[in-house]
Amino acid sequence: MMRLRSRDADFAARFAALVADTREPDSDVAQDVRAILARVSAEGFAAVADYTRQFDKVSLTPETACFTEAERLAAEAQVSAETHAALELAAERIRAFHALQVPADHDGTDAAGVRSGWRYTAMARAGLYVPGGRAAYPSSVLMNAIPAKVAGVDELVMVTPTPDGVVNPLVLLAARLAGVDRIFRIGGAQAVAALAYGTAPIPQCDVIVGPGNAWVAEAKRQLFGTVGIDMIAGPSEILVVADASARADWIAADLLSQAEHDPLAQAILITDSPTLADAVTAWVERLLPTLSTVATARSSWDRFGCIVTVDDLAEVPPLVDALAPEHLEIQTADPHVLFAAVRNAGSVFIGSHTPEAIGDYIGGPNHVLPTSRRARFASGLGVRDFLKRTTFLEAGPRGFAALAGSAAALADAEGLAAHALSVRIRG
């Protein structure tokens, strides 16, 4: 775990190195993914089935690739009443929050008599990738699927790998609560390719969302343009800003809540209290052995954890903006001052009673967020990711007369004769 102090002479260089290290996987998977995409494009479902047999030890046919209604119901029945109720509450809160994001159309006529505006239309079909195995999180199903349904997407198609035929029943229940229409038991880059190209019985989708491993992320990267994507997801991140008023044990638990996701995850604390910094370090060491995820969390904390000590909290906003964290927790005596000053963060959790874990599950805002410093220019998943904005223009004779002369003059200035002609021929 790294310790930095803003007063040290080498702080600027060491902090710049921290910002530059986005912890992307070292292995170059681009060539392997390119070969998988090419094969799925050429061979269709046969290639998808072959990769599923190799990687998941599951044999599929076009008839057995999709979960039947009976299979979905049987799996859902395994979920306890308590967990079922928690998922329903989460779905309700996520749906209510995202309903507020639906944008308004506009249609107006200006002084020249020209009608213009825009309208939003939902994509016809969205694909949702849900990881299998250890990273099969029902909360991610809700977060990815519900905004699509709120946007008005006609059909939502989910793919999820089932290694050795095993599926997480919570994932299937979450899919039901979120309104997923069809679920296919496939995963990996080949599943992303199937959604992008359409490989019967898997239909072609207009956009693909959802997290995955390096191969899934690379497949989305390579297929962007053929299909829309939400974002390229990197390892999880949390930045906690705290002062002496905060509790060290709470902060330590919050840092570990992200460290346990992935050995490449990063947990950072910035504080103006050296005493708090030392206490948090001690609490991390005390809590780590109690976790069932200790191996992953330990690797993340030892390799990428960091505590930054500053002399004054006024130094913090530019540091936060440079890190552009996926998750930002503010645990200070007056957190709203810092919240107002920060520009770059995927999602902000204000006050000591708002741990990031509340946002992961049940708060309402989406937990699919930009990582790897991309919060500088990107936002979390939302309703607009499933909408297209189409502008329109209707001049009419009066509006045309008011605009034609200037339009033709600009076309002449750009040397585009046919543009000018298409205006003047109407005069």
Separation between Cα atoms, residue 48 and residue 200, nearest integer Å: 11
Q: Which of 219, 210, 146 is nearest to 184 (CA)?
A: 210
- Tell me how many degrees the CA angle 276-277-281 measures, rounded to the nearest 5: 110
Give alpha helix (H) positions in 69-225. 69-76, 81-99, 138-151, 169-178, 188-197, 214-223
Separation between Cα atoms, residue 191 and residue 40, nearest integer Å: 9
Query: Encoding tokens for residue 77?
Result: 């029945």
Separation between Cα atoms, residue 174 and residue 180, nearest integer Å: 9
Paired strand residues for 388: 121
Give alpha helix (H) positions in 214-325. 214-223, 248-259, 274-287, 294-304, 316-323
Beta strands in 258-402 (DSSP E): 266-271, 306-309, 327-331, 347-350, 387-394
- DSSP H helix total and E strand total for the chain: 17, 14
Separation between Cα atoms, residue 239 and residue 268, nearest integer Å: 5
From the list 98, 218, 261, 327, the catalytic residue is 327
Query: Encoding tokens for residue 138?
Result: 């029902």
Q: What is the Rg, in whole angstroms, of the alpha carbon atoms belonging to the chain?
A: 25
**Residue 71 annotated as catalytic:** no
User: Under DSSP, is residue 374 helix (H, G, I), strand (E, B) or coil?
Assistant: helix
Residue whose entry in the numeric block shows the structure tokens 């109720």: 85
Cβ atoms of 199 and 288 within 8 Å: the answer is no
**Residue 106 annotated as catalytic:** no
**Single-letter residue type at 277:** A
From the list 237, 326, 329, 356, the catalytic residue is 326
Cβ atoms of 115 and 393 within 8 Å: the answer is yes
Cβ atoms of 408 and 424 within 8 Å: the answer is yes
Separation between Cα atoms, residue 266 and residue 328, nearest integer Å: 12
Residues designated as active site? 326-327
